[in-house]
Amino acid sequence: MTAAVRRAVVYTILNSGGGRAAEAEVTLADGTVGCGSAPVAIKPGAREARRSSGLAVGEPVPAAIASEVAGLARTGATDQAGVDGWLADRVDRLGADVTLAVSLAYARAAARSAGVPLVRHFATLAGTHPAFPGLLAAAVSGGIHGGSGLPFQQIMLATAAGPPSRTVPAVMAVYRRVEQALFDAGQASGYSASSGVVPDVDGAAAVFDVVTRAIADAGVDRDIGIAIDVAAEHLHEDGGYRLGGRLVKAADLARWITELTDRYPVVMVEDPFVASDRDAWVRLNGKLRERVTVLGDDLFATNSRYLDPALAGGVLLKLNQVGTLTATVYTAVRARESGMAYAVSHRSLETEDTAVCDLAVALGANWIKVGGPRRGDRVTKYNQLLRLERDTAAWAQ
Protein backbone atom coordinates (compact mmCIF):
# COMPACT_ATOMS: atom_id res chain seq x y z
CA MET A 1 0.00 0.00 0.00
CA THR A 2 1.27 3.47 -0.90
CA ALA A 3 0.08 6.67 0.75
CA ALA A 4 1.76 9.97 -0.06
CA VAL A 5 1.72 12.83 2.43
CA ARG A 6 -0.02 16.08 1.52
CA ARG A 7 0.45 17.88 4.83
CA ALA A 8 2.17 17.33 8.20
CA VAL A 9 1.88 19.65 11.18
CA VAL A 10 2.86 19.56 14.87
CA TYR A 11 0.98 21.01 17.83
CA THR A 12 1.42 20.98 21.60
CA ILE A 13 -1.01 19.46 24.08
CA LEU A 14 -0.88 18.66 27.80
CA ASN A 15 0.60 15.46 29.14
CA SER A 16 -0.59 13.69 32.29
CA GLY A 17 1.80 15.69 34.46
CA GLY A 18 0.53 19.04 33.23
CA GLY A 19 3.58 19.58 31.02
CA ARG A 20 3.64 19.70 27.27
CA ALA A 21 3.47 16.87 24.77
CA ALA A 22 3.91 16.80 21.00
CA GLU A 23 0.90 15.98 18.84
CA ALA A 24 1.00 15.64 15.06
CA GLU A 25 -1.59 15.59 12.31
CA VAL A 26 -0.82 14.06 8.92
CA THR A 27 -3.04 14.42 5.86
CA LEU A 28 -2.56 12.01 2.96
CA ALA A 29 -2.95 12.78 -0.73
CA ASP A 30 -6.42 11.21 -0.69
CA GLY A 31 -7.53 13.53 2.13
CA THR A 32 -7.35 10.94 4.93
CA VAL A 33 -6.19 12.42 8.24
CA GLY A 34 -4.38 10.74 11.11
CA CYS A 35 -3.34 12.06 14.51
CA GLY A 36 -0.76 10.88 17.01
CA SER A 37 0.81 12.12 20.23
CA ALA A 38 3.91 11.13 22.17
CA PRO A 39 4.53 10.64 25.90
CA VAL A 40 7.75 11.54 27.69
CA ALA A 41 9.68 10.25 30.68
CA ILE A 42 10.10 11.95 34.05
CA LYS A 43 13.80 11.17 33.73
CA PRO A 44 14.95 9.66 30.40
CA GLY A 45 17.50 6.88 30.30
CA ALA A 46 21.05 7.62 29.18
CA ARG A 47 20.76 5.66 25.93
CA GLU A 48 17.42 6.92 24.66
CA ALA A 49 16.93 9.59 22.00
CA ARG A 50 16.49 13.11 23.31
CA ARG A 51 13.12 14.87 23.40
CA SER A 52 12.33 18.16 21.65
CA SER A 53 13.05 21.59 23.06
CA GLY A 54 11.19 24.85 22.61
CA LEU A 55 7.64 23.46 22.66
CA ALA A 56 5.16 25.05 25.06
CA VAL A 57 1.41 24.74 25.47
CA GLY A 58 -0.42 27.79 24.16
CA GLU A 59 2.55 29.04 22.16
CA PRO A 60 3.39 28.57 18.47
CA VAL A 61 5.59 25.61 17.61
CA PRO A 62 9.12 26.89 16.90
CA ALA A 63 9.46 27.74 13.22
CA ALA A 64 12.43 25.41 12.73
CA ILE A 65 10.41 22.40 13.96
CA ALA A 66 7.23 23.36 12.10
CA SER A 67 9.11 23.92 8.85
CA GLU A 68 11.06 20.68 9.08
CA VAL A 69 7.95 18.60 9.78
CA ALA A 70 6.07 20.30 6.95
CA GLY A 71 8.88 19.19 4.66
CA LEU A 72 7.68 15.59 4.96
CA ALA A 73 5.11 16.39 2.26
CA ARG A 74 7.91 17.14 -0.20
CA THR A 75 9.90 13.96 0.33
CA GLY A 76 7.90 11.62 -1.87
CA ALA A 77 7.68 9.03 0.95
CA THR A 78 4.68 6.78 0.39
CA ASP A 79 4.88 4.15 3.13
CA GLN A 80 5.72 3.80 6.84
CA ALA A 81 9.31 2.78 6.20
CA GLY A 82 9.90 5.78 3.96
CA VAL A 83 8.28 8.23 6.37
CA ASP A 84 10.09 6.79 9.38
CA GLY A 85 13.41 6.70 7.56
CA TRP A 86 13.04 10.42 6.87
CA LEU A 87 12.08 11.04 10.50
CA ALA A 88 14.93 8.93 11.88
CA ASP A 89 17.43 11.16 10.12
CA ARG A 90 15.94 14.12 12.00
CA VAL A 91 15.46 12.73 15.52
CA ASP A 92 18.40 14.72 16.86
CA ARG A 93 17.04 17.98 15.45
CA LEU A 94 13.32 17.49 16.03
CA GLY A 95 13.33 15.35 19.17
CA ALA A 96 12.05 11.79 19.51
CA ASP A 97 8.67 12.95 20.82
CA VAL A 98 8.02 15.03 17.70
CA THR A 99 9.16 12.31 15.30
CA LEU A 100 7.09 9.69 17.14
CA ALA A 101 3.96 11.85 17.02
CA VAL A 102 4.38 12.24 13.25
CA SER A 103 5.15 8.52 12.82
CA LEU A 104 1.97 7.50 14.66
CA ALA A 105 -0.12 10.11 12.86
CA TYR A 106 1.03 8.74 9.51
CA ALA A 107 0.30 5.16 10.61
CA ARG A 108 -3.24 6.06 11.63
CA ALA A 109 -3.85 7.93 8.38
CA ALA A 110 -2.50 5.03 6.32
CA ALA A 111 -4.65 2.51 8.21
CA ARG A 112 -7.76 4.61 7.70
CA SER A 113 -6.96 5.13 4.04
CA ALA A 114 -6.66 1.36 3.60
CA GLY A 115 -9.83 0.75 5.61
CA VAL A 116 -8.18 -1.54 8.16
CA PRO A 117 -8.04 -1.35 11.98
CA LEU A 118 -4.81 0.06 13.38
CA VAL A 119 -3.93 -3.21 15.12
CA ARG A 120 -4.18 -5.09 11.82
CA HIS A 121 -2.14 -2.38 10.07
CA PHE A 122 0.60 -2.69 12.71
CA ALA A 123 0.62 -6.49 12.41
CA THR A 124 1.00 -6.26 8.65
CA LEU A 125 3.93 -3.88 9.01
CA ALA A 126 5.59 -6.20 11.53
CA GLY A 127 4.71 -9.50 9.88
CA THR A 128 3.29 -10.77 13.17
CA HIS A 129 0.15 -12.54 14.36
CA PRO A 130 -1.92 -10.47 16.82
CA ALA A 131 -2.52 -11.86 20.30
CA PHE A 132 -3.44 -10.33 23.63
CA PRO A 133 -0.49 -9.70 25.95
CA GLY A 134 -0.29 -10.07 29.69
CA LEU A 135 -0.55 -6.94 31.81
CA LEU A 136 2.17 -5.23 33.83
CA ALA A 137 0.19 -2.98 36.17
CA ALA A 138 1.89 -0.71 38.68
CA ALA A 139 0.61 -1.57 42.16
CA VAL A 140 3.19 0.28 44.29
CA SER A 141 5.63 2.99 43.21
CA GLY A 142 8.93 4.04 44.75
CA GLY A 143 12.24 5.41 43.56
CA ILE A 144 11.99 8.65 41.59
CA HIS A 145 8.30 7.91 40.99
CA GLY A 146 7.35 7.62 44.63
CA GLY A 147 9.61 9.72 46.78
CA SER A 148 9.21 7.03 49.44
CA GLY A 149 11.60 4.70 51.20
CA LEU A 150 11.05 2.02 48.55
CA PRO A 151 14.14 2.09 46.30
CA PHE A 152 12.54 0.22 43.41
CA GLN A 153 10.60 2.30 40.91
CA GLN A 154 7.64 -0.05 40.54
CA ILE A 155 6.23 -3.19 42.10
CA MET A 156 3.87 -4.45 39.42
CA LEU A 157 1.19 -7.07 38.98
CA ALA A 158 2.11 -9.38 36.11
CA THR A 159 -0.54 -11.50 34.44
CA ALA A 160 -0.09 -14.23 31.89
CA ALA A 161 -1.08 -13.41 28.32
CA GLY A 162 -4.82 -13.59 27.79
CA PRO A 163 -7.99 -11.69 26.92
CA PRO A 164 -8.45 -8.38 28.75
CA SER A 165 -11.87 -9.51 29.96
CA ARG A 166 -9.94 -11.92 32.18
CA THR A 167 -6.71 -10.06 32.94
CA VAL A 168 -8.17 -6.63 33.72
CA PRO A 169 -10.62 -7.84 36.42
CA ALA A 170 -7.85 -9.92 38.02
CA VAL A 171 -5.57 -6.88 38.18
CA MET A 172 -8.38 -4.74 39.56
CA ALA A 173 -9.13 -7.24 42.31
CA VAL A 174 -5.52 -7.23 43.53
CA TYR A 175 -4.92 -3.51 43.04
CA ARG A 176 -7.96 -2.60 45.16
CA ARG A 177 -6.70 -4.81 47.98
CA VAL A 178 -3.22 -3.27 47.87
CA GLU A 179 -4.73 0.20 47.77
CA GLN A 180 -7.10 -0.49 50.65
CA ALA A 181 -4.46 -2.19 52.80
CA LEU A 182 -2.00 0.69 52.51
CA PHE A 183 -4.47 3.56 52.80
CA ASP A 184 -6.46 1.99 55.65
CA ALA A 185 -3.24 1.47 57.60
CA GLY A 186 -2.15 5.05 57.00
CA GLN A 187 0.79 3.72 55.00
CA ALA A 188 0.13 5.47 51.68
CA SER A 189 0.78 9.06 50.67
CA GLY A 190 -0.95 9.13 47.29
CA TYR A 191 -0.33 7.93 43.75
CA SER A 192 2.66 8.14 41.45
CA ALA A 193 2.69 9.45 37.88
CA SER A 194 2.04 5.86 36.78
CA SER A 195 -0.86 5.47 39.24
CA GLY A 196 0.92 3.09 41.56
CA VAL A 197 0.24 3.63 45.27
CA VAL A 198 3.12 5.48 46.95
CA PRO A 199 3.84 3.63 50.22
CA ASP A 200 4.91 5.07 53.54
CA VAL A 201 6.39 1.96 55.13
CA ASP A 202 9.71 0.83 56.54
CA GLY A 203 11.54 -1.47 54.15
CA ALA A 204 10.75 -3.14 50.87
CA ALA A 205 9.73 -6.41 52.54
CA ALA A 206 6.59 -4.81 53.97
CA VAL A 207 5.52 -3.75 50.48
CA PHE A 208 6.15 -7.17 48.98
CA ASP A 209 4.20 -8.74 51.86
CA VAL A 210 1.19 -6.49 51.17
CA VAL A 211 1.19 -7.24 47.43
CA THR A 212 1.68 -10.99 47.91
CA ARG A 213 -1.14 -11.12 50.45
CA ALA A 214 -3.44 -9.17 48.12
CA ILE A 215 -2.79 -11.64 45.31
CA ALA A 216 -3.62 -14.57 47.58
CA ASP A 217 -6.71 -12.90 49.08
CA ALA A 218 -8.04 -12.16 45.60
CA GLY A 219 -7.73 -15.84 44.75
CA VAL A 220 -5.63 -15.19 41.64
CA ASP A 221 -2.25 -16.52 42.80
CA ARG A 222 -2.22 -18.88 39.80
CA ASP A 223 -2.87 -16.01 37.39
CA ILE A 224 -0.82 -13.10 38.74
CA GLY A 225 2.79 -12.77 39.81
CA ILE A 226 4.99 -9.84 40.80
CA ALA A 227 7.25 -7.84 38.50
CA ILE A 228 9.94 -5.50 39.84
CA ASP A 229 11.19 -2.42 38.02
CA VAL A 230 14.47 -1.72 39.78
CA ALA A 231 15.28 1.24 37.47
CA ALA A 232 18.92 0.89 38.43
CA GLU A 233 20.08 3.95 36.46
CA HIS A 234 18.37 6.08 39.08
CA LEU A 235 20.04 4.20 41.95
CA HIS A 236 23.55 4.27 40.52
CA GLU A 237 26.02 6.34 42.50
CA ASP A 238 29.83 6.26 42.81
CA GLY A 239 30.08 2.89 41.11
CA GLY A 240 27.45 1.30 43.36
CA TYR A 241 23.71 1.42 43.99
CA ARG A 242 22.00 3.59 46.59
CA LEU A 243 19.47 1.57 48.58
CA GLY A 244 18.17 3.96 51.20
CA GLY A 245 21.10 4.81 53.44
CA ARG A 246 23.36 2.12 52.01
CA LEU A 247 25.61 2.14 48.95
CA VAL A 248 25.94 -1.45 47.73
CA LYS A 249 27.84 -3.20 44.97
CA ALA A 250 26.21 -4.92 41.99
CA ALA A 251 26.83 -8.33 43.58
CA ASP A 252 25.00 -7.26 46.75
CA LEU A 253 22.06 -5.95 44.74
CA ALA A 254 21.95 -9.17 42.73
CA ARG A 255 21.92 -11.19 45.94
CA TRP A 256 19.00 -9.18 47.33
CA ILE A 257 17.02 -9.47 44.09
CA THR A 258 17.60 -13.22 44.06
CA GLU A 259 16.38 -13.48 47.66
CA LEU A 260 13.22 -11.58 46.71
CA THR A 261 12.56 -13.97 43.82
CA ASP A 262 13.00 -16.90 46.20
CA ARG A 263 10.63 -15.48 48.81
CA TYR A 264 7.91 -13.91 46.66
CA PRO A 265 6.09 -14.89 43.43
CA VAL A 266 8.34 -12.73 41.23
CA VAL A 267 8.14 -13.50 37.50
CA MET A 268 10.00 -10.51 36.01
CA VAL A 269 12.81 -8.15 37.03
CA GLU A 270 13.42 -5.02 34.96
CA ASP A 271 16.67 -3.05 34.76
CA PRO A 272 18.42 -4.56 37.82
CA PHE A 273 21.72 -2.86 36.90
CA VAL A 274 23.11 -0.06 34.77
CA ALA A 275 24.23 -0.95 31.25
CA SER A 276 27.93 -0.80 32.13
CA ASP A 277 27.59 -3.63 34.70
CA ARG A 278 27.53 -6.24 31.94
CA ASP A 279 28.96 -9.05 34.05
CA ALA A 280 26.23 -8.56 36.65
CA TRP A 281 23.56 -8.73 33.93
CA VAL A 282 25.00 -11.94 32.52
CA ARG A 283 25.26 -13.61 35.93
CA LEU A 284 21.76 -12.68 37.11
CA ASN A 285 20.16 -13.54 33.77
CA GLY A 286 21.89 -16.91 33.76
CA LYS A 287 20.86 -17.63 37.34
CA LEU A 288 17.19 -16.63 37.03
CA ARG A 289 16.32 -17.33 33.40
CA GLU A 290 14.51 -20.62 34.06
CA ARG A 291 11.92 -19.01 36.34
CA VAL A 292 12.19 -15.21 36.06
CA THR A 293 12.44 -12.99 32.99
CA VAL A 294 15.18 -10.39 33.31
CA LEU A 295 14.01 -7.46 31.18
CA GLY A 296 16.15 -4.68 29.73
CA ASP A 297 14.69 -1.17 29.53
CA ASP A 298 17.40 1.48 29.83
CA LEU A 299 19.83 -1.32 28.98
CA PHE A 300 18.50 -1.63 25.41
CA ALA A 301 16.56 1.64 25.00
CA THR A 302 14.39 -0.02 22.30
CA ASN A 303 17.45 0.04 20.05
CA SER A 304 18.16 -3.16 18.14
CA ARG A 305 21.92 -2.59 18.12
CA TYR A 306 22.05 -3.03 21.90
CA LEU A 307 20.10 -6.32 22.02
CA ASP A 308 21.96 -9.23 23.59
CA PRO A 309 20.10 -12.29 24.95
CA ALA A 310 23.06 -13.08 27.20
CA LEU A 311 22.38 -9.89 29.14
CA ALA A 312 18.60 -10.22 29.50
CA GLY A 313 15.81 -12.56 28.55
CA GLY A 314 13.57 -9.76 27.32
CA VAL A 315 13.35 -6.17 26.15
CA LEU A 316 10.99 -3.36 27.08
CA LEU A 317 9.78 -1.42 24.05
CA LYS A 318 9.15 2.30 24.49
CA LEU A 319 8.35 4.02 21.22
CA ASN A 320 9.73 7.40 22.20
CA GLN A 321 13.12 5.94 23.11
CA VAL A 322 13.85 5.63 19.38
CA GLY A 323 11.24 8.00 17.96
CA THR A 324 9.56 5.97 15.22
CA LEU A 325 7.17 3.06 14.83
CA THR A 326 9.44 1.30 12.34
CA ALA A 327 12.48 1.29 14.65
CA THR A 328 10.36 -0.05 17.52
CA VAL A 329 8.88 -2.83 15.39
CA TYR A 330 12.33 -3.77 14.09
CA THR A 331 13.64 -4.15 17.63
CA ALA A 332 10.65 -6.34 18.54
CA VAL A 333 11.21 -8.56 15.52
CA ARG A 334 14.93 -8.87 16.26
CA ALA A 335 14.16 -9.74 19.88
CA ARG A 336 11.72 -12.44 18.82
CA GLU A 337 14.26 -13.90 16.38
CA SER A 338 16.76 -14.02 19.26
CA GLY A 339 14.32 -15.92 21.47
CA MET A 340 13.76 -12.95 23.77
CA ALA A 341 10.51 -11.86 25.39
CA TYR A 342 9.26 -8.34 24.74
CA ALA A 343 6.87 -5.95 26.42
CA VAL A 344 5.39 -2.73 25.02
CA SER A 345 5.34 0.12 27.53
CA HIS A 346 3.69 3.41 28.37
CA ARG A 347 5.74 6.30 29.80
CA SER A 348 5.36 8.17 33.06
CA LEU A 349 4.01 11.37 31.45
CA GLU A 350 1.31 10.11 29.10
CA THR A 351 -1.30 11.39 26.65
CA GLU A 352 -4.64 9.90 25.60
CA ASP A 353 -2.97 8.15 22.66
CA THR A 354 -3.56 4.40 22.85
CA ALA A 355 -1.30 3.22 20.01
CA VAL A 356 0.79 1.24 22.53
CA CYS A 357 -2.22 -1.02 23.08
CA ASP A 358 -2.74 -1.69 19.37
CA LEU A 359 0.98 -2.29 18.96
CA ALA A 360 1.24 -4.70 21.90
CA VAL A 361 -1.64 -6.76 20.53
CA ALA A 362 -0.35 -6.56 16.95
CA LEU A 363 3.08 -7.82 17.99
CA GLY A 364 1.66 -10.56 20.22
CA ALA A 365 3.84 -9.13 22.99
CA ASN A 366 4.40 -11.07 26.19
CA TRP A 367 3.23 -8.07 28.21
CA ILE A 368 2.02 -4.51 27.99
CA LYS A 369 3.10 -2.12 30.74
CA VAL A 370 0.21 0.25 31.41
CA GLY A 371 0.55 1.63 34.93
CA GLY A 372 -2.06 1.29 37.66
CA PRO A 373 -5.81 1.32 36.91
CA ARG A 374 -6.43 4.81 38.24
CA ARG A 375 -6.82 8.20 36.51
CA GLY A 376 -7.67 8.79 32.89
CA ASP A 377 -4.20 8.68 31.36
CA ARG A 378 -3.78 5.04 32.48
CA VAL A 379 -7.41 3.90 32.38
CA THR A 380 -7.65 4.88 28.71
CA LYS A 381 -5.08 2.16 27.96
CA TYR A 382 -7.06 -0.47 29.86
CA ASN A 383 -10.22 0.59 28.04
CA GLN A 384 -8.55 0.37 24.64
CA LEU A 385 -7.48 -3.20 25.38
CA LEU A 386 -11.06 -4.05 26.32
CA ARG A 387 -12.31 -2.44 23.10
CA LEU A 388 -9.83 -4.42 21.04
CA GLU A 389 -11.18 -7.62 22.54
CA ARG A 390 -14.74 -6.54 21.84
CA ASP A 391 -13.80 -5.77 18.22
CA THR A 392 -11.68 -8.87 17.68
CA ALA A 393 -13.70 -9.97 14.65
CA ALA A 394 -12.69 -6.78 12.83
CA TRP A 395 -8.94 -7.42 13.00
CA ALA A 396 -8.28 -11.10 13.80
CA GLN A 397 -7.94 -12.39 10.26
Residue 146 has a pLDDT of: 63
Please count the other Cβ atoms lying within 10 Å of the Cβ belonging to residue 386: 16
**HSE of 78, CA atoms in CB hemisphere, 13 A:** 7
Residue 145 has a pLDDT of: 61
The residues, ordered by sequence, that sit 6+ positions from 150 with a Cβ below 8 Å of its Cβ are 140, 141, 142, 143, 199, 201, 204, 207
Rounded to an integer, the average pLDDT of 302-319 is 98
Higher confidence at residue 35 or residue 146?
35
Domains of the chain, first to last: 5-115 (3.30.390.10), 126-395 (3.20.20.120)
Rounded to an integer, the average pLDDT of 26-45 is 94
Residue 129 has pLDDT above 80, yes or no: yes
pLDDT band of residue 394 (cuts 50, 70, 90) is confident
Rounded to an integer, the average pLDDT of 372-390 is 96
Task: Give residue-wise pLDDT tens across range 89-115.
Answer: 999 999 999 999 999 999 999 999 999
Residue 1 has pLDDT above 70, yes or no: no
Residue 33 has a pLDDT of: 98
**HSE of 204, CA atoms in CB hemisphere, 13 A:** 20
Please count the other Cβ atoms lying within 10 Å of the Cβ belonging to residue 161: 15
Residue 3 has pLDDT above 80, yes or no: yes
Lowest mean pLDDT among 41-50, 66-75, 202-211: 41-50
Residue 365 has a pLDDT of: 98
Residue 143 has pLDDT above 90, yes or no: no
Q: How far does Cα 77 stand from its chain's mean position?
A: 28
- Yes or no: say if 85 and 30 are a contact pair by the CB < 8 Å rule: no
Residue 147 has pLDDT above 80, yes or no: no
Residue 44 has a pLDDT of: 86
**Rounded CA gap, 39 and 316, in Å?**
15
Rounded to an integer, the average pLDDT of 318-325 is 98
The residues, ordered by sequence, that sit 6+ positions from 392 with a Cβ below 8 Å of its Cβ are none
Task: Give residue-wise pLDDT tens across range 150-182.
Answer: 899 999 999 999 999 999 999 999 999 999 999
Q: What is the pTM assigned to this prediction?
A: 0.96
- Among 85, 8, 10, 76, smallest CA distance to 326 is for 85
Residue 218 has a pLDDT of: 98
Mean pLDDT of the chain: 95
- Among 128, 25, 159, 12, smallest CA distance to 395 is for 128
Lowest mean pLDDT among 45-59, 181-195, 318-332: 45-59
Please count the other Cβ atoms lying within 10 Å of the Cβ belonging to residue 330: 18
Residue 360 has pLDDT above 70, yes or no: yes
